[in-house]
Structure 1
Amino acid sequence: MNQPRPGAPDPQEPRRVLLTVHTGRSDIVDLARTSAARLIAAGIVVRVLADEAEDLDIAGAEVVSADAEAAGGTEIVMVFGGDGTFLRAAELARYTDAALMGVNLGRVGFLAETEPEAVEETLLAIERCEYSVEERLALQVDVLDGRGTVVGGTWALNEVSVEKAQRSRVLDVVLAIDGRPLTSFGCDGVLCATPTGSTAYAFSAGGPVVWPDVEALLLVPSNAHALFARPLVTSPDSVLTVAVPADGNRSRVSADGRRMVEVPDGGRVDVRRADRPVRIARVHVSTFGDRLVAKFGLPVRGFRDARHAGPGHELFTSRTVLDHDVVANPADADVTAPTEVPGAGPHDRD
């Protein structure tokens, strides 16, 4: 769901932006420093995490512990890194009104809003409050024992994986939707994913790509030993249950690959829509389809043109496939010298 940012900041209260940074790379640290300097010069208070403060060395920055209070009172949590860094930042922003805004410095970066070359545009949008906020569906996870008592829980933005604890054995599971048994089989695990997470682990396991503004839950078996083990898409209000027989292999829950919960023998995992969505700030007008084309290098000129131009001539995320100046008329182009996409860099053409 897209929502315009409500109102202007309170002029009596300074605006604050929390930086979360992959400090293991010097180029990322340098970009975070220059971005912080730009924000501070605009009168915005920059906040950094205590375990990153020494590496970032940003003069005048607020230093806070990386806990549930880290993003309190902030407007934006700005992420410099890949999707892993973004998911770590989502933990900090989870119980606040702060919106996440990512600068992709990883390999794929579906969650990030912008690429490094567009950071200036993003910073200007923050300074002027010219951004919208998407609310992304998140997952609430309850782990129950054999008596039905809740013994643990967690949450996820991308997916929850109920997986085997011993690699050498198959995990036996019974699946139920809204309390009604559906099927059972042996597998490596079962993924319960959000539309946001459909391009992550669930995609690798053979699940569908779901546009993030679709409200739904996904259930994707991983290497199931069964004829009926197709990915399922359910109502966003459904409860997905993965039960593990007491005499089966031991299992555990992995949430976004970051938080682990053990499942008791004979227990079950209930996955439902979380009460609080995750808020993601957007600056650019690109669609999710544009991002798919750019991230996967999908050919958009048609298979006949691809024989000459080659696949992977992706669109820039600020353009759409319907723009006639992006997809050139083959009759007007020399097949030995494909027409360039306006604004393309060296990596975007042969």
Structure 2
Amino acid sequence: MGERRIAVMIHPVREEALVSAAEFISRMARHGVDTIVLPEQWELCARALPDLVDTPHLQPSADLSSNHVELVVVFGGDGTILRAAEWAYEPEVPLLGVNLGHVGFLAELDSSEVGHLVTHVTERSYDVEERLTLSVSVHDEHGRLAWESFAINEVSLEKGSRERMLEVLAHIDERPISRWAGDGVLVSTPTGSTAYAFSAGGPVMWPDVEAIELVPLSAHALFARPMVLSPRSRVDLDILPHNAGPAVLWCDGRRTFDLQPGSRVTVSRGPHDLLLARLTEQPFTTRLVKKFNLTIDGWRSPHGRSARGA
């Protein structure tokens, strides 16, 4: 294999993702840069790139560290980037997202810009942005560790049965703060503040803010407002023993664990940051306006002068 290696993650069912990825991999091979794909995506790539199957320029592997991969290029939306984060999180390899027609907060450029992408990757002309992540652990009613994971967007503790509320006692920095009965509790990163936390009524946080967001979900309580915590804070969520039914824990809507009454969920800042490769300095404000189609026309001109001639 060559001296330089990148990895590619492809949306599993979208044809335009495979077409763009195949063009990118072929061009990278011509520049002497090898590509790693996950074993489960190998057959997909082999069909699209038969000329590269028997060359060292395209190889299946699940290990980014031993292959010294410098970048993971993701062809898909924010959901595919979250999937790729499971691959790249621990070895701390930057992700670069290529969008497929929908405005996303994590993707960097459109699929029509493959030539532009190849130039930036071969010349290593990109910056790396660091995003706070979360670490989550679950202990059972006897205090035994039952499950561990990480989250890029959010950790969501939710009731397991539709007809019953979930009663949770929340602690911040090992001090109880409130007891909530409702649909559950969500702990979000700034990255996730525009995802589930936004739908649950939480504030939008700029991605370079280092903070943790705590959002009660449809809680029956006078004090049930979202809270923005220190990045050093620890959140403990106790499922009270008298809950009639189970609960379920989700990380990024991808990894899940079933919980019983008496369990404790602990959330704190993760040991690794999410690394995102950026080709341009597009402000988060611009991404926000595009994503939510916000109205920005007003009585002032784009140059800040009054449209009325002031």
Does the pair score TM above 0.5?
yes
| AA partner of residue 197 (structure 1) | G
Residue of structure 2 equivalent to 1:84: 79
Structure 2: any 5+ residue segments left out of the alignment? none
Residue of structure 2 equivalent to 1:197: 192
Residue of structure 2 equivalent to 1:100: 95
Q: Which residues of 2 match residues 51-130 of structure 1 at below 5 A? A: 51-57=40-46, 58=49, 59=52, 60=55, 61-65=57-61, 67=62, 69-70=63-64, 72=66, 73-105=68-100, 107-130=102-125
Indicate which of 256, 273, 276 corresponds to 2:272: 276
| AA partner of residue 287 (structure 1) | P
Residue of structure 2 equivalent to 1:35: 24
**Structure showing greater relative contact order (alpha-carbon pairs closer than 8 Å, 6 or more residues apart):** 2
Q: Which residues of 2 match residues 78-227 of structure 1 at below 5 A? A: 78-105=73-100, 107-227=102-222
Q: In the comparison of the two structures, how many residue pairs are matched?
A: 300
**How many Å separate the matches in 2 of 1:40 and 1:179?**
53
CA RMSD of aligned residues (A): 2.1
**How many Å separate the matches in 2 of 1:275 and 1:174?**
26
SS at the partner of 2:222? coil
Q: Quick one: percent identity of the two aligned structures?
A: 42
Offset of residue 64 of structure 1: 2.3
Q: Is the 8 A contact 1:83 1:109 kept in 2?
A: yes
**How many Å separate the matches in 1 of 2:41 and 2:17?**
12
Offset of residue 146 of structure 1: 2.1
SS at the partner of 1:133? strand
**How many Å separate the matches in 1 of 2:71 and 2:188?**
25
TM-score (norm 2): 0.90
Offset of residue 119 of structure 1: 3.4
SS at the partner of 2:220? coil
Offset of residue 71 of structure 1: 5.8
* Cα distance change on mapping 1:84 and 1:21 into 2, 3 Å: same
**How many Å separate the matches in 2 of 1:323 and 1:43?**
45
**How many Å separate the matches in 2 of 1:136 and 1:48?**
24
| AA partner of residue 62 (structure 1) | L
* Cα distance change on mapping 1:171 and 1:108 into 2, 3 Å: farther
Residue of structure 2 equivalent to 1:46: 35
Offset of residue 63 of structure 1: 2.9
TM-score (norm 1): 0.81
Matched, 1:267 2:263: yes
Indicate which of 7, 12, 33 corresponds to 1:23: 12
**How many Å separate the matches in 2 of 1:175 and 1:77?**
37
Offset of residue 209 of structure 1: 0.4
Residue of structure 2 equivalent to 1:311: none
Spell out, residue by residue over 1:11-30, the C-alpha distance to the aligned partner (whole angstroms, 9 max, x if none): x9611111100131211111
Offset of residue 289 of structure 1: 0.8
**How many Å separate the matches in 1 of 2:103 and 2:237?**
30
SS at the partner of 1:53? helix
Matched, 1:288 2:277: no
| AA partner of residue 267 (structure 1) | S
Offset of residue 250 of structure 1: 1.2
Residue of structure 2 equivalent to 1:232: 227
SS at the partner of 2:96? strand
Offset of residue 106 of structure 1: 5.8
Offset of residue 329 of structure 1: 7.5
| AA partner of residue 202 (structure 1) | A
Q: Is the 8 A contact 1:19 1:77 kept in 2?
A: yes
Structure 1: any 5+ residue segments left out of the alignment? 1-11, 306-321, 333-350
Moved over 6 A (4+): none
SS at the partner of 1:225? coil
Q: Is the 8 A contact 1:144 1:264 kept in 2?
A: no
Spell out, residue by residue over 1:179-227, the C-alpha distance to the aligned partner (whole angstroms, 9 max, x if none): 1010112111111010011111111111110001110000111111112
Q: Is the 8 A contact 2:2 2:32 kept in 1?
A: no
SS at the partner of 1:89? helix
**How many Å separate the matches in 1 of 2:306 and 2:119?**
36
Residue of structure 1 equivalent to 2:295: 299
**How many Å separate the matches in 1 of 2:154 and 2:24?**
31
- Range moving further from structure 2, 171-180 or 144-153: 144-153
**How many Å separate the matches in 2 of 1:291 and 1:123?**
23
| AA partner of residue 75 (structure 2) | F
Residue of structure 2 equivalent to 1:252: 248
SS at the partner of 1:86? helix
| AA partner of residue 166 (structure 2) | L
